[in-house]
Structure 1
């Protein structure tokens, strides 16, 4: 909901800024007169351009992954959702902008050039750059569309090459920013539109340059750690989860159970999000006093399937974060229900460790019900640990295992006995999340909290 509100508010703000400076374009002309169509084309061209560059500026700002963005949106996963939808919005607006531009031929064929507005004045320095700005904008438009298609149609391109290709986005933005700066009518530089565009282009361009310099994720949230130990949680490498203990530097200020980090291992590709599978202090520290952090990594793609062979103790790792608000806490008057599917168990491991005897509890915790979905309980190497943690948890956590190998798959009906006022914390496959979300929409007393690690 917050993402929808933020997207709508941003779109509305851009529209109102345009309306404040756009000249009345109907001019008394009826829809049967050529002047109407030429003026309609002109204003559609400008408004769609404002929408497109405005959304692209938001995309560039969100790409910086600043921790302060989490609070208004409800978590870094929601920041990425808004980033994705703003990119789609920018592409749709760019198509509208291109369509408005190309419509001149149709209007000319039907109405001729009668009533066609004169070319708008632009900034003085930009007069000689009109042609270059138009060409750059057109090239960037086609490249933007291609990137959006590759992002949405994920089967066309695997994640690794897509991620490398996605790095050209800041350069595309700078091309579109120059296109906007050189071609925006001089009258649009009046307040409030002028101020809005100056801020958008300035912030967006700074973010693009920061990204091109490789500085994203290297601020105060970045910590240079070291792989302390690597352990395969099961007999089959490349299929069973991998436990990685990371020794953190003194700059690490700790985390809250349920949060995640971006980890970049030395010699491998860039940052990937992994949930922290340990409560603060539960893993102890190294002999020289460095706190240990546990990551449990499920082999889901080419990158994670190869980690068991690539990671070695002593290897450098850059940890960025922590991020997220998946704390498993809710209103005291509501029942807390945790739903974990597969590798989605990792945040709940941290939440369970925070409930163990001797753990420092900084929040008022409530009893909870954990529904754990596993493909095969008999072969699940993590399940014994989960059972032990649940048995010792204070306040208690009641465990119910759903074993797919025995035909026991979680259905929303399994949650009904817990009551009508539920806070449901879910981490797992998309299909499981969709089924529970649909049930929550029908049960008005159910509130669903779900982090979406959809970074593409």
Structure 2
């Protein structure tokens, strides 16, 4: 049997892995069912409290009932904002990390605006009923209602988190600083919720609803403790992962190799990511999310990063034997997403690393895999030796695009491509690109530009795979 035929046979044998994807609709159905069940409970609670009659009144009671429903929905969204980032397997398997990250952001902003509406509507409604001005009513709420001091502090923390999560503000901050501030959202949620149970008419009139609501939040807190703290600590102790080598990857990159006990039991797949904490190193308490840069089936966990922030710069100073705490593996940016024989990998900067791990792990015949890399300069390229090895041994076709990015049109291309017709360029680089799976990894604006041109080139959305990871 020829090498090419053997490789194709391997691909055919691996196809059943794709069947694992068929379970996602079942997980998604279950997750959506849970979301709808709690959401309908909130609406039922509001209606049971006389919402219909109050809406018809068109007076202060109308403002108050609208304030109640905005508060209930805001609290429900806050619950899901926490759950979505708690690494709960139900939601991870149902939606995938990329969708969860987008949902987390969308849910967070909607929850915040509904929270502000809740405060404004109730202040105006109660002020109208009492015949006082809104400032006096707001003061009365804060100082004289049970739990409102806590809610005020919680609201302040949530405002801080939302303001620093606006894209422009986030870009101006170091990732480590933003992440630390973002964790205050948990405290803000914890402080804002109790006043609903102590002063909320919907809960005071329905003791079973109070039990249900406390139980729901207790389960949410337990999910955070189990999946974000206990499970990572247990896995880290079980596998005893340690740094075995730290190597330069070009002038701006660093590679860290790690080994441990029974790493195959982690179930890690090429393309997934972990959150890493290197014990003893400065700033070890702040996790660094990095994708696997090599096929984990080789018995090592390998990461590669550009040294652009404090977290990644510290990687270059790690010593052999450093113990490692892990969260993960996470993500669905794996070979199981494949639907076609041909694959195209497109990466910019450090985004090349997970693509190389996929190319090492995935079956394909010579000429069936194409890697397109994008760097500001050739000297900044990462994983060069590994890419050259794949070209020589497995018949990978590599296209390197170097130079500053275009400012208009297809901005994923270098300025040297004068016409900027990205869709046409993709068709030239990859004949029959519409019949390939395309994996994207890089900065979000770059991926968005590539995605537009891929769709214009005729690639179905279902064959374009990308994943953002957040913590």
TM class by shorter-chain length? 0.7 to 0.9
Cα distance in 1 between the residues matched to 2:270 and 2:247: 21
Q: What secondary structure, in the 3-state scheme, does the structure 2 residue paired with 1:242 have?
A: strand
Q: What corresponds to 2:273 in structure 1?
A: 260
Residue among 213, 219, 222 paired with 1:197? 213
Q: What secondary structure, in the 3-state scheme, does the structure 2 residue paired with 1:321 have?
A: strand
Residue among 70, 74, 96 paired with 2:96? 74
Once the two structures are TM-superposed, the CA of residue 54 in structure 1 deviates from its matched residue by 1.0
Q: Is the 8 A contact 1:263 1:271 kept in 2?
A: yes
Q: What secondary structure, in the 3-state scheme, does the structure 2 residue paired with 1:132 have?
A: coil
Q: What corresponds to 1:249 in structure 2?
A: 261
Q: What secondary structure, in the 3-state scheme, does the structure 1 residue paired with 2:104 have?
A: helix
Q: What corresponds to 1:415 in structure 2?
A: 426
Q: What secondary structure, in the 3-state scheme, does the structure 1 residue paired with 2:186 have?
A: helix
Please list, as runs of the form range in 1=range in 2, the aligned pairs for 1:38-77 lying within 5 A after superposition: 38-75=60-97, 77=98
Q: What corresponds to 1:350 in structure 2?
A: 357
Once the two structures are TM-superposed, the CA of residue 196 in structure 1 deviates from its matched residue by 5.4
Once the two structures are TM-superposed, the CA of residue 248 in structure 1 deviates from its matched residue by 1.8
Residue among 447, 451, 464 paired with 1:433? 447
Q: What corresponds to 2:177 in structure 1?
A: 161
Q: What corresponds to 2:305 in structure 1?
A: 297
Whether 1:17 and 2:21 are equivalent positions in the alignment is no
Consecutive unaligned residues of structure 2, counting only runs of 5 or more, are 1-24, 133-142, 405-413
Q: What secondary structure, in the 3-state scheme, does the structure 2 residue paired with 1:312 have?
A: coil
Residue among 92, 95, 102 paired with 2:113? 92
Whether 1:398 and 2:397 are equivalent positions in the alignment is yes
Cα distance in 2 between the residues matched to 1:29 and 1:266: 57
Q: What secondary structure, in the 3-state scheme, does the structure 1 residue paired with 2:269 have?
A: coil
Once the two structures are TM-superposed, the CA of residue 374 in structure 1 deviates from its matched residue by 2.2
Once the two structures are TM-superposed, the CA of residue 29 in structure 1 deviates from its matched residue by 8.1
Cα distance in 2 between the residues matched to 1:58 and 1:28: 28
Q: Is the 8 A contact 2:31 2:91 kept in 1?
A: no
Q: What secondary structure, in the 3-state scheme, does the structure 2 residue paired with 1:218 have?
A: helix
Q: Is the 8 A contact 2:86 2:224 kept in 1?
A: no
Q: Is the 8 A contact 1:335 1:368 kept in 2?
A: yes
Cα distance in 2 between the residues matched to 1:381 and 1:438: 25
Whether 1:337 and 2:344 are equivalent positions in the alignment is yes
Q: Is the 8 A contact 2:145 2:199 kept in 1?
A: no
Please list, as runs of the form range in 1=range in 2, the aligned pairs for 1:372-387 lying within 5 A after superposition: 372-377=373-378, 380=381, 382-387=383-388
Residue among 427, 439, 451 paired with 2:467? 451
Cα distance in 2 between the residues matched to 1:183 and 1:303: 44
Judging changes above 3 Å, is the alpha-carbon distance between structure 1 residues 9 and 101 closer, same or farther for their aligned structure 2 residues?
A: farther
Q: What corresponds to 2:409 in structure 1?
A: none
Judging changes above 3 Å, is the alpha-carbon distance between structure 1 residues 149 and 241 closer, same or farther for their aligned structure 2 residues?
A: same
Once the two structures are TM-superposed, the CA of residue 244 in structure 1 deviates from its matched residue by 0.7
Deviation string 1:26-83 (CA, Å, 9 cap, x unpaired) is: 54986xxxx42212212111111111211121222233324443210123x4333333
Cα distance in 1 between the residues matched to 2:453 and 2:30: 25
Q: What corresponds to 1:371 in structure 2?
A: 372
Higher mean displacement: 46-55 or 379-388? 379-388
Once the two structures are TM-superposed, the CA of residue 351 in structure 1 deviates from its matched residue by 1.8
Residue among 403, 408, 424 paired with 2:438? 424
Judging changes above 3 Å, is the alpha-carbon distance between structure 1 residues 217 and 206 closer, same or farther for their aligned structure 2 residues?
A: same
Whether 1:324 and 2:331 are equivalent positions in the alignment is yes
> What is the root-mean-square deviation in Å for CA atoms of aligned residues?
3.8
Q: Is the 8 A contact 1:242 1:298 kept in 2?
A: yes
What is the TM-score of this pair, normalised by structure 1? 0.77
